[in-house]
Amino acid sequence: MPKPSVIFRTADQFRAADASPGEVLREADGVRARIEYLERGATDGALSDAEQAEVRGLVKTLDGLLNLVEDMTVIDRRGVVPVGRDGIHWGGGQDARPVREGVRGRALDVLDRTERTDGHLHRSALDAVARAVDADETDALARWVTVAGDPAYRSAFHKLVRNPQHGSFEWDDAERQAFARVQQLQRAMSLTDGAGGFMVPFSLDPAVVVTNSGTSNVRLRDAFTTKTIATDAWNGVTSAGVTAEWKAEAAEVADASPTVSQPSIPVHKGDAWIPFSFEVGGDAAAFAAEMARLLVDAKDRLEAAAFVTGTGTGQPRGIVTAAVAAGKTVATASADTLALGDLYKLKAALPARWRAQAAWLANEDIYDAVRQFDTTGSAALWAALGDNTPAALLGRRVYESSEMDGSVTAAATNHLMIYGDLRQYYVVDRVGTVVELVPHLFGANRRPTGERGFLMWFRTGADLVVPDAVRVLDA
């Protein structure tokens, strides 16, 4: 017969006692052991009604304890590391999977809910975050989605914006706890500075918010490969592959070991100053919409140039910069002239490996010049593929960037078009945009203007991982 039921402390009791993670974990181990004891002692493999009721209660208690551990946990690149006053670190020897799976599951729930309710979020960015979380690439990413996507944190954020000096006094318990979890994660992700900056809510982070209709950067991001990370750099692996051979019977094979390289794309800090009026900040709904627009517009305009011609020093490395540095240029037949034959020359210069997924990238003004090569339509340069489907040039999809050269300037370098597999250009967003709130702005006469301000910063990197995948037309 099973021994009499054991009374375990609940998560609420541990929370009220300001317990350490180690204490909570020891209680969780006891609950788990009790469940296993009941299951082992079941008669003919079946639990009595009383035992079933006890197991259900124990499972609920265990879930609460593990959720509490999540709230008390700092995530770093080594895994789950509870930090408490007893100095116990949950790692070596104990199984961290229950906590990790809980964080991942909650993150996916947040993404699913966000997709249904926040129409201004960029679907492809949400998908990228969801894939990373689902693959469990990094616990910090899942944790970020969970804590920054908490509705209680968003409401706490809005109250703080409405009243920077005393907004925190208006928080309820859920908002206070949500804000504390975000601050804890900021420390774990190295986002906090000495000035007390705090993260914007997930739904306002420019890493996932859609670009407004006035720019083309979102289309440019669709052409590239985007990665969302919770570290300071994205690290990949590339290889030229192996070489196969024909061999005679019983002949020794050649060594075909591939050469592997590890490209690394660091993220760089960008910032923007965002003033807003008391009236906008006082209306939470209006503020959210306005903030999303301002955050994205600032980030988008800064990135648009960097993704094409960025130097790679203190900023992303542009696709043109990287391709030219690698010698992947094709000169036009005549200097300072763009002609129809140059398109075919550029297209033919791309290695066969990259032609199946190739696309064009150019300024809209260059596309207009190309359209004028074929005034009768007999050359079939352009094909309109139907509603909501972009046109194709010589059978390949086109992307537009206003940062590409839009005209031919005599005696100057003109990078007019890019052709190739644009997916080999990687854009890496470091999650966790941070803001500093300035409660009052002052005018020229040092009197308040009725505005507040945000100093926002974010981190983004980009580079061409496989330079041979593209060619640049140089006139």
Please report which confidence band the pLDDT of residue 97 belongs to, taking 50, 70 and 90 as the band edges: very low
In this structure, the answer to whether residues 27 and 117 fall within a common structural domain is no
pLDDT of residue 83: 40
Most confident of 25-39, 63-77, 135-149: 25-39
pLDDT of residue 124: 56
User: For the segment 385-418, what is each residue's pLDDT rounded down to a tens digit?
Assistant: 665 566 789 989 999 998 999 999 988 899 999 9
Whether 89 maps to a domain, the answer reads no
Whether 252 maps to a domain, the answer reads no
In this structure, the answer to whether residues 322 and 355 fall within a common structural domain is yes
pLDDT of residue 460: 92
The domain tally of the chain equals 3
Query: Does the structure show a pLDDT above 50 at 383?
Result: yes
Please report which confidence band the pLDDT of residue 149 belongs to, taking 50, 70 and 90 as the band edges: confident
Whether 5 maps to a domain, the answer reads no
In this structure, the answer to whether residues 315 and 451 fall within a common structural domain is yes
In this structure, the answer to whether residues 177 and 204 fall within a common structural domain is no
Please report which confidence band the pLDDT of residue 228 belongs to, taking 50, 70 and 90 as the band edges: confident
pLDDT of residue 144: 73
| Domain final position from 168, 192, 216 | 192
Whether 246 maps to a domain, the answer reads no
In this structure, the answer to whether residues 299 and 359 fall within a common structural domain is yes
Whether 419 maps to a domain, the answer reads yes
Rounded distance, CA 453 to CA 440, Å?
Answer: 7
Which of residues 419 and 184 earns the better pLDDT score?
419
User: For the segment 312-342, what is each residue's pLDDT rounded down to a tens digit?
Assistant: 999 999 999 999 999 999 999 999 999 999 9
Query: Does the structure show a pLDDT above 70 at 212?
Result: no
Most confident of 27-36, 83-92, 210-219: 27-36
Please report which confidence band the pLDDT of residue 447 belongs to, taking 50, 70 and 90 as the band edges: very high
Q: The domain that contains 303 carries what CATH number?
A: 3.90.1690
In this structure, the answer to whether residues 108 and 46 fall within a common structural domain is no
User: For the segment 112-141, what is each residue's pLDDT rounded down to a tens digit?
Assistant: 655 555 554 555 555 666 666 655 555 666
User: For the segment 290-313, what is each residue's pLDDT rounded down to a tens digit?
Assistant: 776 777 778 888 888 999 999 999
In this structure, the answer to whether residues 220 and 159 fall within a common structural domain is no
| Domain final position from 161, 176, 192 | 192
pLDDT of residue 131: 61
pLDDT of residue 105: 63
Whether 2 maps to a domain, the answer reads no
Please report which confidence band the pLDDT of residue 71 belongs to, taking 50, 70 and 90 as the band edges: low
Whether 88 maps to a domain, the answer reads no
pLDDT of residue 323: 97
Contacts of 323 (CB under 8 A, 6+ apart): 329, 418, 464, 467, 470, 471, 472
In this structure, the answer to whether residues 31 and 148 fall within a common structural domain is no
pLDDT of residue 81: 41
Most confident of 13-27, 93-107, 412-426: 412-426
Whether 394 maps to a domain, the answer reads yes
In this structure, the answer to whether residues 188 and 211 fall within a common structural domain is no
In this structure, the answer to whether residues 151 and 225 fall within a common structural domain is no
User: For the segment 151-196, what is each residue's pLDDT rounded down to a tens digit?
Assistant: 788 788 877 777 776 667 788 888 888 888 787 777 666 665 544 5
Taking residues 27-34, report their average pLDDT. 81
In this structure, the answer to whether residues 309 and 433 fall within a common structural domain is yes
Which of residues 400 and 56 earns the better pLDDT score?
400
Taking residues 46-65, report their average pLDDT. 80
In this structure, the answer to whether residues 445 and 334 fall within a common structural domain is yes
Taking residues 438-459, report their average pLDDT. 88
pLDDT of residue 311: 96
Q: Tell me the pLDDT of the chain averaged across its residues.
A: 77
pLDDT of residue 85: 35
| Domain final position from 156, 171, 192 | 192
For residue 47, what are the domain limits?
11-82
User: For the segment 247-283, what is each residue's pLDDT rounded down to a tens digit?
Assistant: 898 898 888 777 777 889 999 999 888 888 887 776 6
